[in-house]
Amino acid sequence: MIILHLCHGFHPGNGFETFIANLCNNDSDNKNIIILPKGTNEDIGLNPDIDVLEITDFFQVADIVDKIQPDIFLIHWTGAEGLNKDECNLIISGNKFYYQLKPGIRRDINNDPFGFLYVSKIISSTPVYIVAHSEFQIPMHIQTPEITGLIAVSNKAVRAFERNNFKKVVIPNGIDTELYKPDRRDRISKKFTIGWSGRLAKYDIQI
């Protein structure tokens, strides 16, 4: 299966970068391909066989989808940020934000802070899911049928989409704990042995 990811950009040391690197590096059953804004592909430790494509215009995503024909398209939402973010001023207030275009700039999909989510409106041949890593609220008009569903990495993240009418599921940190939980019978049946090599000494610890 081919999984296509659209991300805001890579900056080492952040939680999202750790998430996406672990997800793609450990998924040997599928082909993962990542789309990033040009100039944001910093090294986060991805395996060499994971393709990273850089774009300068959101409409290039539609061309990539037509060419690759992915089985699933994942939009990773980490907050309000347009492709041409220098054309827009953002004012952050809690989990909400307001924006204003700079003088002489016309609004389009590339400078809109919701542009990453609007890409779903130009993709018609592939199921599109939002993976919510952020608590920033989004517009109510981002609805089905463009969005197949939402995958939130926390209960807080899913609240940003509570007004939106599409299917939602919470998978903490992107890991299905029901699928990967340890077998309780194994935990109970295992015997533990402590081995020691060296010399035991007595310590008088005073506080």
DSSP letter string, 24-92:
HHT-TTSEEEEEEETT-B------TTSEEEEESSTHHHHHHHHHH--SEEEEEE-SS--TTGGGEEEEE
**Residue range 122-147, pLDDT digits in tens:** 887 789 998 988 777 776 666 555 78
143-165 average pLDDT score? 77
Q: How far apart are CA 79 and CA 96, in angstroms?
A: 10
Encode pLDDT of 178-199 as tens digits.
444 445 544 444 444 444 344 4
pLDDT at 111: 86
pTM exceeding 0.95: no
Region 102-121: mean pLDDT is: 86
Q: Which tokens is 179 given?
A: 């699928």
pLDDT in tens, 32-77: 999 999 999 999 999 999 999 999 999 999 999 999 999 999 999 8
